[in-house]
Amino acid sequence: MAVLRRPECLLLTALLLFCWPYSSSALQWDEDLNVELRDADNATAETSLNKQGNQTEHAPATIDTLPIVTWKWHHVEAPYLVALWVLVCWLCKLVFELNHRVTNIFPESGLLILIGFVLGGIVWGADKKATFALQPTTFFYYLLPQIILDAGYCMPNKLFFSNMGAILVYAVIGTCWNAGAVGISLWGCYEGGAMGHLEIGFLQFLLFGSLLSAVDPVAVIAVFEEVHVNEVLFILVFGESLLNDGVTVVLYNVCDAFVSLGAAKINAAEIIKGIISFFVVAFGGALVGVIFAIILCLLTRCTKNIQIIEAGFIFVISYLSYLTAEMLSLSAIMAITFCGVCSQKYINVNMDERSVNTVRYAMKVFANGSETMIFVFLGISAIDPAIWVWNTGFILLTLLFVFVYRIMGVFFLTWFLNKTRLVPVETIEQVIMSYGGLRGGVAYALATVLDPVKIKEKNLMLCTTFLVIYFTVVLQGVTMKPLVKWLKVKRSAQSELKLIEKLNNRTFEHTLCAVEDICGRIGDNWWIRGWNRFEQKWICRYLMKPSARKSQDYLFGVFHQLNLEDAVNYVSEGERRGSLAFMRSEDAASVDFKKKFGTDMSDIMPDIMVNTDFNGLDVSIRESVPSVSLEIHENDTKNLRNNNDVNVHHLLQQHLYKSRKHHRHKYSRSHFSINQSEDEVQEIFQRTMRSRLESFKSAKMGVAPAKKISKHPQKDRQQKMSNGKSLDKSKAHPYGDEDFEFSDGNSASGGEAATYQTPYYYRVAGIVNRAFMPEMDTPPTMRTPPWLSQAETDGSVAPSQRAQRSLPWSPSNIRRLAPLRISNRSTDSFIMADVVKPPENPEDRVA
């Protein structure tokens, strides 16, 4: 248990300690666990052989001789089992994901439950006793939070809040309706004699109804994600399932309290208290979540210096919000949902882009992992004859009522909501919504928490809950996809991001606002706008980094994103075709891009700075599609031609340098990024690279271009100094068609202003010639000393690591490839195809 309290293990324990209770509850662990292990994982069969060794461990510590190796199963038992179970569950997923034909028909969640049956059967067969079952504590503390957090964090906020009203109606009223109707109807049937004699009173029926009322987000996500319904439908079902978990737990607690009180003590005052507590708990939970979200945002404002663990804060703080709400007996699910929903926007801009990615991926790993385990354990836990109490009337009626009341609830509420909705929910969608009322882990966990002392028929309820879960998850889950197809529900259109769409969405919003103003009515748009203003003015001010705040521009963000996509496609296309040409242009482009931002725009667009600076690896490569990015910075583009001769040189530097850096920092725990220690990097760079490159080139590429390259730092510069632009131009041409064409394409985009004067050129080349600096008409900030410019080159070098991956690592390979790139133009054919005929390609013309 000690492990549990160590805060630094919080994240790990969340996953790893999930089955602590099972092992600790199994008192005869010594025998049982060995059997368990053998069955759960055949590979560990020898553990039973070592039982003796295991037992000797308990023996007093008197030893005769120094043991070289001792068997310490006892020490690692709990975490070991946890890890093994995690492994087993994930392996299950792996196994059936091998065959896509099965998963196409059968939803994953249902399959996992079935596999759980098998595993549970094995355990049972070995043990004659259900040793492992999903404990409610484990479920609520270690498995559920990350799923809900993931749901909240990845929530499409705009969609969620614009449908908030409907979601709340479904979640609150719908859930109460489900709980009440199921409970009362069951009670009525019981009174009518439909299920024989049971020791269940009216309140117990209500309690049972309330625990069955929640649509489970885990099951819903699992099924609906595979189905791809349209986004409004999805957000309605999903948002409902997310919020009604909180509602269910609250409802359950109220009913539970009523049951404890006993029917005699319940009067109007208690009922009113119950209703009040319902709202306090639900909204209090949301409030706790918002508070923690604010803390989180404030924290991420100042984590710049500890980027390596800043992603961890998200998890810790959110988990704390969950626990805090639990501690205050507020709705923990609501808390963590709102923590995720409210903080996502701000932390995503506050944090480094890599941290954001880390958070996203880690979140998915946790959520998907525990989702898998929940389903597997829903299967395993069922294999326990002790809980299977059959009562045909009770079980069948429950199934029927759950199903029917869900449909009734949805249709009634939708009818009501459609009166005010701009776009009504269609009948078909209502069918899907009611059919999507999947029950899951929450219902099960609540059923296991039932106190057998107060509720005599706990096992019957548990077993009914199981059946409801299986019925909904497996049967409805399987039939969901065909149903969606058959009913022709509007699917989500997977449209690519388009700038013009975003632009028009903005236009529409403004237009609607204006029209509302003209009509003099306060409508939705008025509220949305009011909120946006408030957010801009106050919230962003306090919760966002000042630097991030400035860079916030919606359209530009979209544009940026599009460029990234394009560039990725571009680069991968280049790689696919086996041409290395893209590297050259990319090289220049990314360098330019970075230079541009690095100097005069650094205060305006820091996030892009960050990308190029630190996240360079992936991002700046993407920044570099000539047709688009280059063209952002027309000045830079014009330089391209000048840069071309340098690029080869530069590229080489990059690669060699990269591998070195890679080496150095692999082991470092705090410097994940190779770019962060620039001093060091510079040092190496200064000391070793230059000399190595010189010798390398003169030895291997003794052809004319190579000579030029090796010499150009001084010579080119001088020539240019004396002759000016014309010479520069003429120099560019001999390098080949592509250079020429490049210049053509570029000149289309802008005038022939003294392009080579910009300092990028020199920086790119990594040249130490300062004589040129004064003649450049650039802002003073750009006149950085050569060593600094070296460092920047280095920063921009990072991007090509990606490209490097496709490039052979060893120096000999580079040598082999490099001359090829210089001399053999045919390899560059792909990029030239773009550049040579600008008129044919609209993109190029723009460039």
Partner 1 sequence: MGLPLVESALQWNSGILNANRDPKNDDVEFQITRLYSRFHSLDKGENGALSREDFQRIPELAINPLGDRIINAFFPEGEDQVNFRGFMRTLAHFRPVEDNEKSKGHDASEPLNSRNNKLLFAFRLYDLDRDDKISRDELLQVLRMMVGVNISDEQLGSIADRTIQEADTNGDMSISFSEFIKVLEKVDVEQKMSIRFLH
Return the SS3 of 229: strand
Q: Is 837 in the site for partner 1 (CB under 8 A)?
A: no
**Residue 601 phi, psi (nearest 5):** -110, 5
Q: How far is the CB of 841 from partner 1 (least distance, A)?
A: 10
The yes or no reply on residue 534 touching partner 1 (CB under 8 A) is no
If one asks whether residue 501 binds partner 1 (CB under 8 A), the answer comes out as: yes
Q: 834: alpha, beta or left, given left = phi > 0 and alpha = psi -120 to 50?
A: alpha
Neighbours of 282 (CB within 10 A): 24
Q: What's the longest Cα–Cα distance across the chain?
A: 107
Place of tokens 């429950």: 398
Nearer to partner 1, 191 or 603 (CB): 603
What is each CA distance from 458 to 122, 204, 260, 387, in whole angstroms? Answer: 25, 10, 15, 8
Q: Which stretch binds partner 1 (CB under 8 A): 2-10, 203-211, 625-633, 684-692?
A: 625-633
3-state helix, strand, coil in the chain (%, to 5): 80, 0, 20
Question: What tokens were used for 730?
Answer: 């003429």
Nearest to 170 by CA among 220, 204, 225: 220
Among 27, 69, 268, 493, binds partner 1 (CB under 8 A): 493
CA angle 516, 521, 523 (to 5 degrees): 70
Nearer to partner 1, 164 or 503 (CB): 503
Does residue 634 touch partner 1 according to CB under 8 A? Answer: yes
CB of 417 to partner 1, least distance (A): 12
Rounded least distance, CB 729 to partner 1, Å: 23
Measured from the CB of residue 193, what is the shortest distance to partner 1 in angstroms? Answer: 47
Closest approach of partner 1 to the CB of residue 562, in Å: 7
Q: Which of 41, 517, 680, 744 binds partner 1 (CB under 8 A)?
A: 517
Contacts of 113 (CB under 8 A, 6+ apart): 375, 376, 378, 379, 470, 473, 474
777 binds partner 1 (CB under 8 A): no
Stretch that binds partner 1, among 289-297, 440-448, 500-508, 576-584 (CB under 8 A): 500-508
Nearest CA among 61, 69, 58 for reference residue 29? 58
- By C-beta, is 357 or 602 nearer to partner 1? 602
Pair 544, 350: CB distance under 8 Å? yes
Residue 843 found at the interface with partner 1 (CB under 8 A): yes
- Per-residue binding string, partner 1, 113-132, x by CB under 8 A, is --------------------
Angle between helices 606-613 and 581-599 (to 10 degrees): 140
Q: Residue 159 or 467: which CB sits closer to partner 1?
A: 159
Quick check: 535 binds partner 1 (CB under 8 A)? no
Q: Minimal distance in Å, beta carbon 532 to partner 1?
A: 12
Q: Is 727 in the site for partner 1 (CB under 8 A)?
A: no
Pairwise CA distance, residues 61 & 418, whole Å: 75
**Binder of partner 1 out of 77, 226, 353, 516 (CB under 8 A):** 516
Verify binding: residue 537, partner 1, rule CB under 8 A: no
**Does residue 524 interact with partner 1 by CB under 8 A?**
yes
CA 638 to chain centre: 39
# chain residues binding partner 1, by CB under 8 A:
51
Q: Which is nearer to partner 1, 54 or 629 (CB)?
A: 629
Q: What are the backbone angles phi and psi of residue 437, rounded to the nearest 5°? A: -75, 70
Q: How far is CA 109 from the centre of its chain?
A: 20
In the region spanning residues 552 to 611, those forming contacts with partner 1, defined by CB under 8 A, are 553-556, 559, 562, 601, 604-605
633, 661, 720, 731: residue in contact with partner 1 (rule CB under 8 A): 633
Binding residue (CB under 8 A) for partner 1 from 279, 361, 486, 508: 508
- Is residue 521 at the binding interface for partner 1, with CB under 8 A as the rule? yes
Instruction: Answer for the pair 732, 644: CB distance below 8 angstroms, yes or no.
Output: yes
**Could you tell me which stretch among 261-269, 348-356, 505-513, 821-829 binds partner 1 (CB under 8 A)?**
505-513
- Is the separation of the CB atoms in 383 and 130 below 8 Å? yes
Closer to partner 1 by Cβ: residue 416 or 809: 416
Nearest residue (CB) to partner 1, 163 versus 710: 163
Q: Does 102 bind partner 1 (CB under 8 A)?
A: no
- Distance of closest approach, residue 302 Cβ to partner 1, in angstroms: 23
Q: Which residues contact 68 (CB under 8 A, 6 or more apart)?
A: none
Instruction: Give the interface segment with partner 1, choosing from 519-527, 614-622, 720-728, 765-773 (CB under 8 A).
Output: 519-527
527 is an interface residue for partner 1 by CB under 8 A: no
For residue 491, the SS3 value is strand
Q: Given candidates 263, 271, 302, 499, which one binds partner 1 under the rule CB under 8 A?
A: 499
Any contact of residue 753 with partner 1 (CB under 8 A)? Answer: no
Q: Which two tokens stand for residue 37?
A: 């292990």
The interface region with partner 1, picked from 452-460, 478-486, 546-554, 641-649 by CB under 8 A, is: 546-554
Q: Does 491 bind partner 1 (CB under 8 A)?
A: no
Among 592, 631, 716, 739, binds partner 1 (CB under 8 A): 631
User: Of 420 and 810, which CB lies nearer to partner 1 in the complex structure?
Assistant: 420
Residue 79: strand, helix, or coil: helix
* Residue 173: CB minimum distance to partner 1, A: 21
Distance in Å, CB of 753 to partner 1, minimum: 13
804-812, long-range: CB within 8 Å, 24+ apart, which pairs?
804/654, 804/655, 804/658, 804/659, 806/575, 807/580, 807/655, 809/659, 811/656, 811/696
Query: Which of 465, 525, 620, 804 is the binder for partner 1 (CB under 8 A)?
Result: 525
Q: Is 748 exposed, middle or buried (0-12, 13-18, 19+ CB in 10 A)?
A: middle
Least spacing, CB of residue 167 vs partner 1, in Å: 17
The pattern of x and - marking residues 194 through 233 that bind partner 1 according to CB under 8 A reads: ----------------------------------------
CB of 421 to partner 1, least distance (A): 8
Residue 229 β-bridge partners: 491
Cα 322 to Cα 499: distance, rounded to the nearest angstrom: 38
**Contact criterion met (CB below 8 Å) for 468 and 443:** yes
Which residue in 45, 271, 514, 820 binds partner 1 (CB under 8 A)? Answer: 514
Rounded to an integer, what distance in angstroms lies between the CA atom of residue 248 and that of residue 254? Answer: 10
| Other beta carbons within 10 Å of 273 | 14
Phi, psi of 458 (to 5 degrees): -55, -40
When computed from its CA atoms, the radius of gyration of the chain, rounded to whole angstroms, is 33
Which of the residues 415 through 434 are near partner 1 (CB under 8 A)? 420, 422-424
Report, in Å, the least distance between residue 501 CB and partner 1: 5
* Interface mask toward partner 1 for 162-201; x: CB under 8 A: ----------------------------------------
Nearest to residue 144, comparing CAs of 246, 279, 277, 250? Answer: 246
Shortest separation between residue 744's beta carbon and partner 1, angstroms: 18
Q: How far is the CB of 582 from partner 1 (least distance, A)?
A: 20
**Per CB under 8 A, 61 contacts partner 1:** no
> Which residue type, as a one-letter code, is found at position 532?
N
Q: How far is the CB of 636 from partner 1 (least distance, A)?
A: 10
Within 8 A by CB and 6+ apart from 664, the residues are 674, 680, 684
| Dihedral over Cα of 693, 695, 701, 706: its sign | positive
Residues that bind partner 1 (CB under 8 A): 420, 422-424, 493, 495, 498-501, 503-521, 523-525, 550-551, 553-556, 559, 562, 601, 604-605, 628, 631-634, 842-843, 846
